[in-house]
Structure 1
Amino acid sequence: MLLDKLQGFFFTRAKFYLTKYNRVLPFGDTIVDRWDKAKFLGFGENTSIYDNSLVLGNVYVANNTWIGPNTLLDGSGGRLEIGAHCSISAGVQIYTHDTVKRSLSGGKAAIEYANTKIGNNCYVGPNVVIVKGVTIGDNVVIGANSLVTKSISSNLVAYGTPAKVIGKSLKYQGIK
């Protein structure tokens, strides 16, 4: 029976990941290589994305970027661009559209669309939400559980709901 074969395959792969990496992954992530998925999506070299991540529309990701599990990259309302050497942590959601005005107007107003961009060398912490139209510069740290509603210039650290700049990121690189 097919179900028995799939379950057997899953437990064989799960044992491999548990033994080698001390982790148990969802079914899709046991059979889909993260780097192969990134190549399939046309992302840059040495970039990886978990199979359980959702990618919609026009999404570009540069080289050497890690996209964690359970992320949502929504380029359905414009271009979503993520630079090189970034870490996009688990649970991050990045949008290029919203339906706020459409919903509040009872469907009379249009859906709003805007490009969203994350620069190079950025860290986006777990469960961050970045709304449409935001540009995040290079060398930026966004703290966990933040809601980013406005653009953030390069070399800064921001966190909170809504995210607010709290300092400079260069100190994390050993630069004064």
Structure 2
Amino acid sequence: MAASTYLSLLFTISIFFISHATLPTSNPKLYQNVCKQPGKTDFEQRCLTLIESYPPLTQINDRLTFCRSFVKMVAIEKTTKAQEYVKQMMNKYPSSQPIKECATEKYDTLVNELKAVLNEDPDLIDMDAKYAADALDECETVLAREKIVNVSSIYTLNNNMMLLADIVRITASNL
């Protein structure tokens, strides 16, 4: 065979392989899709930063597994620590009924609803997340009555806890 025949055959085979090769696509990972969901201004960056600080979460592709793993690895620990902080505030300012109500009733609901996600029927997980978020909203409403103690640190804490509840709610909304 002539050299041109070999080159022609090599070219044809190359075209065949190139046309059947899969092009790499930039499919976002599950957690990236979760973080892009709501129309909140800083939500996406806060969500990505939080989840990427737990590398095992970034590898999960199943929504239910991600949701429960996020709750187990992140949400329960952070909400429990947040409740401890609010309880310290309650002990520091025992006459403050709003702080007491947030520290006990509202944060108890928050922590318990997130813990329920671990064993909940997948169809009901979004309700647990909604109840957790509602508890934070109710805490905010109660804190608005506080006129003596500066509760700005609790507002900030609630904002951070709402991020956790939102991540669970968004993930669970498509189970």
Q: Give the TM-score normalised by structure 2.
A: 0.24
**Greater Cα radius of gyration, structure 1 or 2:** 2
Q: As a proportion of its length, which structure holds more strand?
A: 1
Q: As a proportion of its length, which structure holds more helix?
A: 2
Structure possessing the higher relative contact order (Cα contacts under 8 Å, 6 or more residues apart):
2
Q: Give the TM-score normalised by structure 1.
A: 0.24
